[in-house]
A and B are shown apart, each in its own frame.
Chain A
Amino acid sequence: MSYLSPLIAVGLTLVTGLIFSILIGLNPVSAFHAFFIAPIDDLYGLGELGVKAAPLMLIAVGLAIGFRSNIWNIGAEGQLTVGAICGGGLGLYFYESESSWLLPAMIVFGAIGGMLWASIPAFLRTRFSTNEILVSLMLNYVAVLILSYLVHGPWRDPDGFNFPESRIFSDAGTLPIILAETRLHIGILLALGAVILGWVFVRKSFVGYQMQVAGMAEFAARYAGFKRNRMVWTGLLVGGGAAGVAGLCEVAGPIGQLLPSVSPGYGYAAIIVAFVGRLHPVGIMLASLLMSLLYLGGETAQMDLGLPSAITGVFQGVLLFYLLAADLFINFRLRMTQVVSVLSAKGSAS
């Protein structure tokens, strides 16, 4: 049943989409084609699917670890930005290097950067009981402003006519392409690796088990001696590290330099991916491909059908709504008697 609800949700979203396209006068078949077939009907399109899915997958796997134990990291966007800053900064410092150590070092720095940014809400939560949702969210805005300051000022390309962009990373600092004639880079391999690691962590490690229990029954976990603080740190650092690596992959991959904006909202979309994937690494893998297709489809729909870019956000939200609603069938067994007793309780109260 737990795997059925995402399928139900996707199905309902499709139906909604078809109804919607009829309502606005589009041929539903061509709408379906534009959204789901056209974007991936050539090799380049398939490559793009992977290019977009990789960061979503990576971040969502990291976030899901935390979400499972009720640690709500909403700051992935900021963490990926700081990851990009740290890893990208290393790449800029060694912009003339051809060493094959540069790229791995950049990835490590990216992870460190993300973890650093996530450690702020972790610290504030464990030390001062400050709500991590709000802190991590505020830090998103701060991170983007720091990036903007850096590319407008100290890290600006000196040969770049004072435009707000950094130097382009050297070849040694750019992710290699793994599929010729596309932009698909090794980031997808890192993401798939994260899926495997995530699965191992959840299924096989004790800490993973602890966190799951803490999410389902907090008092039981505490009674058993599972340290909440350690879980908060783990949850946030894993999410932050994953986001940091994803951020670095974006700037060292398709972008190739540091720009004032390095993400079209991957940090927030990854939250949806995590939920649609039922917080399970394999589910997340599939969900990220779906979400990636939604993004690409939205673009194709713009070009081929003249639909506005806003449509993508609408359908992402709708998908999540249906999913949350479909969860009802997992979490509860509906019995007529229960409905009746609720009604009668309401009746007597008023």
Chain B
Amino acid sequence: MIRSSKIMSFFSSLFVALMGVSISQPAFAQELLKIGFVYVSPIGDAGWTFQHDEGRLQMEKALAGKVETKYIESVPEGAEAERVIRQFAADGYDLIFTTSFGYMNPTLKVAKRFPKITFEHATGYKRADNVGSYNVRFYEGRYLSGIVAGKMSQSNVAGYVAAFPIPEVVMGINAFTMGMRSVNPKAETKVIWTNSWFDPGREREAADVLIAQGADVLTHHTDSTAIVQAAAEKGAWAIGYHSDMSKHGAKAHLTAVTHHWGDYYVQVANDVMEGGWKSRDVWGGIPQGMVSLAPFHDAVPQDVRDLVAKTEAAIRSGEFHPFQGPVTDQDGNVQVAAGTTISDGDLQKMGYYVEGVQGKLPK
């Protein structure tokens, strides 16, 4: 009797212990969604990749406990990228963001071999069943920044330091110029091409040259903060790009056209987790919160701020499009007829300068 009660008490305590253990465990282990990011440059503290990483961090926070992210930075475009993207796929990542145009073909090649994995490619134009593409209507922010530039410039010359003459950059130059001339019809834009996304020395030299040639507002489509620094030193105004660059030249920094990827990343992750993801070509802008202006410099007067706010609201509601007709190019041809709005397709292949931009677009 004693032995059986000992045995009974042993088994019952074992049973209780097992029950307790199994109750404290979840019913099945929660599977985290593994998300990989491929970056083309170092994250740094400002610029294209920095903004993507901010988006990643925002998504991580919003979806804490449900996702696990990893990134790899400074991956050169071209042949090398394919190996890195494939490594993410082979390691069992469920969702992979490739954040540069040059990753487009490598992403497609890897996606073909891993049909169960979701890929999202930024700023490209090719998709597949498991590859979506996404981009931002930066030109909306550019137009607004042009308004600020037009009002603040006294010499009526703006300087634009740009990397390569691809449509995205040309769109930006045109939108900026049109924004400027909407409030200052005499203003002109001078463009210098540095042939590099990231070469602070050249960007600085280009900025100095533009200032020497009379520009008193500078902006850029390159990845460093050099022109903001140059402007601060030479007493000109600057409008940053990608990120708020005010800490690199506070007295010159009027505002910046900033990128915001976080909300989009959260949305995509949720879609994948819920199983509702579909390959789309997303081109968001101000209404989706993907581009906006950084806080204004104190010197920007209230009427300018009001005008920007008003225009922003009009873009948001769809009433206004920076490239609504008539849009005339440098040679006097009407590219967008009055009363019509440019199509996305035409935007994506933009290969002309609008009136007010000096020089010829490199062909």
In the bound complex, residues from chain B placing their C-beta under 8 Å from that of A302 are 72-73
Interface size bracket, B side: 20 to 34
Contact of A153 among B73, B102, B362 (CB under 8 A): B362
Q: Is A225 interfacial (CB-CB < 8 Å)?
A: no
Cα distance, A299 to B164, chains bound together (Å): 28
In the bound complex, residues from chain B placing their C-beta under 8 Å from that of A195 are none
Instruction: Report yes or no: A153 in contact with B363, Cβ–Cβ below 8 A.
Output: yes
In the bound complex, residues from chain B placing their C-beta under 8 Å from that of A160 are 125
Interface 0/1 of A31-70, CB less than 8 Å to B: 0000000000010100010010000000000000000000
The verdict on A164 contacting B105 (CB below 8 Å), with A44-B86, A299-B83 known, is: no
Q: Which of B74-82, B226-234, B325-333 participates in binding chain A?
A: B74-82
In the bound complex, residues from chain B placing their C-beta under 8 Å from that of A51 are 79
Closest chain A residue, CB of each to CB of B170: A162
Q: Is A126 interfacial (CB-CB < 8 Å)?
A: no
Q: Which of A196-204, A249-257, A272-280 participates in binding chain B?
A: A249-257
Q: Is B289 interfacial (CB-CB < 8 Å)?
A: no
Q: Is B8 interfacial (CB-CB < 8 Å)?
A: no
Q: Is B200 interfacial (CB-CB < 8 Å)?
A: no
In the bound complex, residues from chain B placing their C-beta under 8 Å from that of A299 are 72, 80, 83-84, 87
Closest chain B residue, CB of each to CB of A256: B105
Cα distance, A250 to B74, chains bound together (Å): 20
Q: Which of B53-61, B308-316, B348-356 participates in binding chain A?
A: B348-356
Q: Is B166 interfacial (CB-CB < 8 Å)?
A: yes
Instruction: For the complex formed, measure the closest distance between the CB of A95 and the CB atoms of chain B, giving whole angstroms.
Output: 15
Instruction: For the complex formed, measure the closest distance between the CB of A188 and the CB atoms of chain B, giving whole angstroms.
Output: 14
In the bound complex, residues from chain A placing their C-beta under 8 Å from that of B170 are 162
Instruction: For the complex formed, measure the closest distance between the CB of A19 and the CB atoms of chain B, giving whole angstroms.
Output: 25
Within 8 A of A (CB), among B165-182: 165-167, 170
In the bound complex, residues from chain A placing their C-beta under 8 Å from that of B125 are 160-161, 163
Cα distance, A44 to B113, chains bound together (Å): 12
Cα distance, A253 to B350, chains bound together (Å): 31
The verdict on A162 contacting B166 (CB below 8 Å), with A254-B79, A262-B78 known, is: yes
Within 8 A of A (CB), among B125-181: 125, 164-167, 170
By CB atoms of chain A within 10 A, which of B74, B79, B164 has the most? Answer: B79
Instruction: Report yes or no: B195 in contact with A145, Cβ–Cβ below 8 A.
Output: yes
The verdict on A162 contacting B86 (CB below 8 Å), with A250-B79, A261-B76, A303-B72 known, is: no
Q: Is B278 interfacial (CB-CB < 8 Å)?
A: no
In the bound complex, residues from chain A placing their C-beta under 8 Å from that of B105 are 168, 256-257
Instruction: For the complex formed, measure the closest distance between the CB of A308 and the CB atoms of chain B, giving whole angstroms.
Output: 8
Instruction: Report yes or no: A152 in contact with B165, Cβ–Cβ below 8 A.
Output: yes
Contact of A254 among B82, B87, B164, B167 (CB under 8 A): B82
Cα distance, A145 to B102, chains bound together (Å): 18
Cα distance, A48 to B72, chains bound together (Å): 19
By CB atoms of chain A within 10 A, which of B102, B167, B351 has the most? Answer: B102
Q: Is B10 interfacial (CB-CB < 8 Å)?
A: no
Instruction: Report yes or no: B78 in contact with A261, Cβ–Cβ below 8 A.
Output: yes
Instruction: Report yes or no: A163 in contact with B166, Cβ–Cβ below 8 A.
Output: yes
By CB atoms of chain A within 10 A, which of B72, B87, B90, B363 has the most? Answer: B87
Within 8 A of B (CB), among A54-99: none
Instruction: For the complex formed, measure the closest distance between the CB of B197 and the CB atoms of chain A, giving whole angstroms.
Output: 10
Instruction: Report yes or no: A264 in contact with B73, Cβ–Cβ below 8 A.
Output: no
Instruction: Report yes or no: A261 in contact with B167, Cβ–Cβ below 8 A.
Output: no
Cα distance, A308 to B167, chains bound together (Å): 32
Cα distance, A309 to B102, chains bound together (Å): 19
Cα distance, A152 to B164, chains bound together (Å): 8
Cα distance, A236 to B350, chains bound together (Å): 44
Within 8 A of A (CB), among B45-79: 70, 72-74, 76-79
Q: Is B15 interfacial (CB-CB < 8 Å)?
A: no
Q: Is A30 interfacial (CB-CB < 8 Å)?
A: no
Instruction: For the complex formed, measure the closest distance between the CB of B82 and the CB atoms of chain A, giving whole angstroms.
Output: 7
Instruction: For the complex formed, measure the closest distance between the CB of B42 and the CB atoms of chain A, giving whole angstroms.
Output: 8
In the bound complex, residues from chain A placing their C-beta under 8 Å from that of B11 are none
Closest chain A residue, CB of each to CB of B166: A163
Instruction: Report yes or no: A164 in contact with B164, Cβ–Cβ below 8 A.
Output: yes
Instruction: Report yes or no: A162 in contact with B101, Cβ–Cβ below 8 A.
Output: no
By CB atoms of chain A within 10 A, which of B72, B76, B101, B166 has the most? Answer: B166
Instruction: Report yes or no: B82 in contact with A162, Cβ–Cβ below 8 A.
Output: no
Instruction: For the complex formed, measure the closest distance between the CB of A302 and the CB atoms of chain B, giving whole angstroms.
Output: 6
Given A44-B86, A162-B170: 19 more A-B contacts, CB < 8 Å = A44-B90, A48-B83, A152-B165, A152-B362, A161-B125, A161-B167, A161-B349, A163-B101, A163-B167, A164-B164, A183-B82, A255-B78, A299-B72, A299-B83, A300-B87, A302-B73, A303-B70, A308-B74, A309-B73
Binding site for B on A (CB under 8 A): 42, 44, 48, 51, 145, 148, 152-154, 160-165, 168, 183, 250, 253-257, 259-262, 264, 296, 299-300, 302-303, 308-309
Q: Which 8 residue pairs spanning A and B have beta carbons closest together?
A: A254-B79, A309-B74, A162-B167, A255-B79, A161-B349, A161-B348, A153-B363, A162-B349
16 CB-based A-B contacts, threshold 8 Å: A154-B363, A162-B349, A162-B351, A163-B101, A163-B166, A163-B167, A164-B166, A250-B79, A256-B105, A261-B76, A261-B78, A262-B78, A264-B76, A264-B80, A299-B83, A309-B74
